Amino acid sequence: MDLLVSPCSQLLTLLGNPSPRRGSCQGELSIIPDGAVLIEDETIKAIGPAKELEGRVAGTRPNRISAEGCVVMPGFVDSHSHPIFARSRHDEYELIIRGTRYQEIAESGGGILSSVRAVRETSKSRLLELSRTRLARFLEHGTTALEVKSGYGLDLENEIKLLEVVQDLQKATPLELIPTFLGAHEIPEEYRSRKRQYIELVTEQMIPVIAGRHLAEFCDCFVEPSIFSLEETEQVCISARSQGLKIRLHADQLSRSGAARLGVRLKAVSVDHLEQILPEDIQVLSKSATIATLLPGSVFHLGLNHYAPARALIDAGVPVALATDFNPGSSPTLNMQMILSIACAQMRMTPAEAIVATTINGAHALCRANRIGSLEPGKQADLCIMDVEDYRQIPYFFGMNHCKMTLKKGRIVYQRG
């Protein structure tokens, strides 16, 4: 039976050019005021003014959801996250507030390595249980697709454990999960003085096994001179690509290494963070197909003020996506609405540009824009109903959850109250 979502105060369709939105198209929401969506099974059958769709279903008796006075939009596509971890790092949070730098914590054996120790000590079933609760929170906040990284195992057994958790979670949640192998996240303790050997382990053992078992679709590296250099990253990426994995990178987050430019050369689907990107690399990016995924949650949480140059990127014509980077060290939020607020207030993205960045451009950053990220006939019926009259109120009323209902493949997967 058909399902009619009608009426709503604004339907953000995100209809438009099939390529990633860049430049002046970055803010194209294609809004239908007083709109409606007609859904058949998992798929959007029609969108249009409520009056028109009401006329179309006259005589039939579709199921109905009213979104009166609300904004209806595509579910958020969160294209960068690290949600499978064993414990929170609130102790480090306090250290950071008191003035210790994120890098200092990492150098003294904390940071990512403290999450690695905890994951190694935690059973797969416990990780599953912890993660399941977190994934439910994503749906409650309107996210319907989520990239999920490994990277807290850093040995064959534990990286596989994390990616198997993702595989098992996918059987238990309607949230769409896209797995990324992040073995090159840090150098594990036992390889501290033998980085070469660790890279060999990643390229010669982990990547072939993980790609062979289809445990990941993408491969990511934390490119940072003190962690993985440009050359080392290239080795990992070449191995990953030869095994059929697509590339995405943590680039130019803490220092200006030229990682974004390397990403373009390696045909990365996305280069992420970019707080320190060089102005000349913005030009290189603008001439490529690589998407810039900005993660302002980490800058906010670490109490820093150097956000990625979103305006310069958009003005240069680089397609920009936004994601939570949900992780226990630098960005413990899973709320894409909060990311919209930070992007608008701190990076001067307009609310429309930011919404494009969290939906259709996020879908492009995960190579799924033919199926999700906008509300158009033929696409998957992934949408959320926001309890606001105008889309600008989503970032404006910040720090709260406006999501009233989330639909995944035409099915209600979250409903408030």
With CB under 5 to 8 Å by kind, the binding choice for 160 among ligand NIG, Fe ion, none is none
With CB under 5 to 8 Å by kind, the binding choice for 21 among Fe ion, ligand NIG, none is none
**How would you classify residue 274: left for phi > 0, otherwise alpha for psi between -120 and 50, otherwise beta?**
left
- Nearest distance from C-beta of residue 327 to Fe ion, angstroms: 6
Q: Measured from the CB atom, is 325 or 353 closer to Fe ion?
A: 325
Counting contacts by CB under 5 A, is residue 353 touching Fe ion?
A: no
- Nearest distance from C-beta of residue 300 to ligand NIG, angstroms: 12
Q: Measured from the CB atom, is 253 or 361 closer to Fe ion?
A: 253
Residues in contact with Fe ion, shown as a per-residue x/- string from 178 to 207 under the rule CB under 5 A: ------------------------------
With CB under 5 to 8 Å by kind, the binding choice for 328 among Fe ion, ligand NIG, none is ligand NIG
With CB under 5 to 8 Å by kind, the binding choice for 253 among ligand NIG, Fe ion, none is ligand NIG
Choose the binding region for Fe ion from 8-16, 86-94, 324-332, 379-387 (rule: CB under 5 A): 324-332
Q: Measured from the CB atom, is 274 or 394 closer to ligand NIG?
A: 274
- Nearest distance from C-beta of residue 220 to ligand NIG, angstroms: 9
Q: How many residues bind Fe ion (CB under 5 A)?
A: 1
With CB under 5 to 8 Å by kind, the binding choice for 222 among ligand NIG, Fe ion, none is ligand NIG
With CB under 5 to 8 Å by kind, the binding choice for 47 among Fe ion, ligand NIG, none is none
Q: Which amino acid is at 82?
A: H
R_g (Cα) of the chain, nearest Å: 21
Find the binder of Fe ion among 186, 232, 325, 353 (CB under 5 A). Answer: 325
- Nearest distance from C-beta of residue 248 to Fe ion, angstroms: 10
CA atoms within 13 A on the CB side of 130: 18
Q: Measured from the CB atom, is 115 or 158 closer to ligand NIG?
A: 115
- Nearest distance from C-beta of residue 149 to Fe ion, angstroms: 7
Contacts of Fe ion in 24-83 (CB under 5 A): none
- Nearest distance from C-beta of residue 124 to ligand NIG, angstroms: 20
Q: Measured from the CB atom, is 99 or 417 closer to ligand NIG?
A: 99
With CB under 5 to 8 Å by kind, the binding choice for 301 among ligand NIG, Fe ion, none is none
CA atoms within 13 A on the CB side of 352: 16
With CB under 5 to 8 Å by kind, the binding choice for 257 among Fe ion, ligand NIG, none is none
Residue 238: CB atoms within 10 Å: 13
Q: Measured from the CB atom, is 78 or 325 closer to ligand NIG?
A: 325
- Nearest distance from C-beta of residue 395 to ligand NIG, angstroms: 22
Residues near ligand NIG (CB under 6 A) are 82, 111-112, 115, 222, 250, 253, 298, 325, 327-330
Q: Provide the binding-site residues for Fe ion, judged by CB under 5 A.
A: 325
